[in-house]
Amino acid sequence: MSTPAPLPFVRLYEPKDFDKLLRVCEVTVDPVVAQAPDLTLASAIWCAPYPILNPESSFVLDDGNGTAVGYLVGAPSTRAFIDKYQKEYIPRIDSVRFPLPSTEEGKRVKEELDGLSWMLDVIYDPTVMDTELIDEGFQAHFHIDLLPEYQSRGYGPKLLDAFSEIVRKDGGTGVHVAMAPGNDRAGVWYERNGFVRKYVKRGGRWMAKKL
C-alpha cells in the first residue's frame, strides 16, 4: 500500500525559509508591480523585512516536506514595526541595487521604474504604513501570498488565524491590509474572512477587521 502524500500545514517561519518566501512573493506579486524591471524590489519591501524584524509573527505554509509554498508575514504593532524598520532594516538595504531616491543613481533607477518609481521611495520610507486605521484600533498589518497551486484550498484562513492569535496575545484589537485598487479577487476573499472596506487612497485599497 502506498504511503499517503504529506499534507501542507501552517508553522512558524524558520531562517531556512527566507529565500523561498522571497520567491513566493516575486511569483505572486500584483500584475502591475510585476512590470518592474527588478522584482526583488517588491520582495525587499513587502516580504523580507518581516521575517528579519518580526520572525515571531511570520508564518509559513509548509508543503509537508519542509518547503515554504506560502506565507503570512506581519506586525502586531505597526508603529513598533516602523521604528524597528528605520533602525534595523534600512541599514541592511542593498544601496547599490536600490540606491537612495535622492541620489543621482536613485534618480536613474526611478526613471527605469517609470510608473513604479514610488517603490524606491517606499523601501526607504516605512512611515507610509502609519495610517489612521491604527488609531481606529487596527494596529496590526500583514502581507499574505501563496503559490497558485495552493490557493483556494483553505490555507489562507489558517495563516490568518495563526497571525490573529499572535495579535490578540500582543493586546491588539484589529488588523488591516492594503492591496492594489483593482485587485477585486483579493477584496472578495478578505470580505469572506470578515474584513470590511475602509477606503481607497495612497495608491491602494485598505481593508480592516476587528479581532
Report residue 31's pLDDT band, with 50, 70 and 90 as the boundaries: confident
Please tell me the predicted confidence (pLDDT) of residue 35.
83
Is the per-residue pLDDT at 148 higher than 80? yes
> Strand pairing partners for 141?
75, 176
Is 1 part of a structural domain of the chain? no
**What is the per-residue pLDDT for 5?**
82
Judged by phi (left if over 0) then psi (alpha if -120 to 50, else beta), residue 194 lies in left
Whether residue 33 has pLDDT greater than 90: no
pLDDT, residue 1, reads: 58
Q: Is the pLDDT of residue 191 over 90?
A: yes
How confident is the model at residue 36, as a pLDDT?
Answer: 84
CA dist., res. 135 & res. 168, Å (int)? 17
Q: Establish if 4 belongs to a structural domain.
A: no
Q: Considering the domain boundaries, does residue 25 fall inside one?
A: yes
pLDDT at 183: 87
Mean pLDDT for the chain overall = 95
- What tens digit of pLDDT does each residue of 149-163 get? 999 999 999 999 999
Question: How far, in Å, are 22, 33, 128 from residue 26 at the CA level?
Answer: 6, 10, 21
Q: Is residue 3 part of a domain?
A: no
Give, for 108, the enclosing helix (H) or strand (E). Answer: helix 104-113
Indicate whether 2 belongs to any domain. Answer: no
pLDDT per position as a tens digit, 36-76: 888 999 999 999 999 999 999 999 999 999 999 999 999 99
Which of the residue ranges 67-71, 99-103, 185-189, 200-204 would you say has the lowest mean pLDDT? Answer: 200-204
Domain range for residue 32?
9-210
pLDDT for position 119: 94
Grid cell locating 107: 534618480
Report the C-alpha gap between 141 and 56 in whole angstroms. 14
8-17 mean pLDDT: 98
Query: For residue 92, what pLDDT is reported?
Result: 97
Task: Write the pLDDT tens digit of every residue in 113-133.
Answer: 988 999 999 999 999 999 999
- The total of structural domains in the chain comes to 1
Here the CATH number for the domain that contains residue 194 is 3.40.630.30
- Give the pLDDT of residue 198: 95
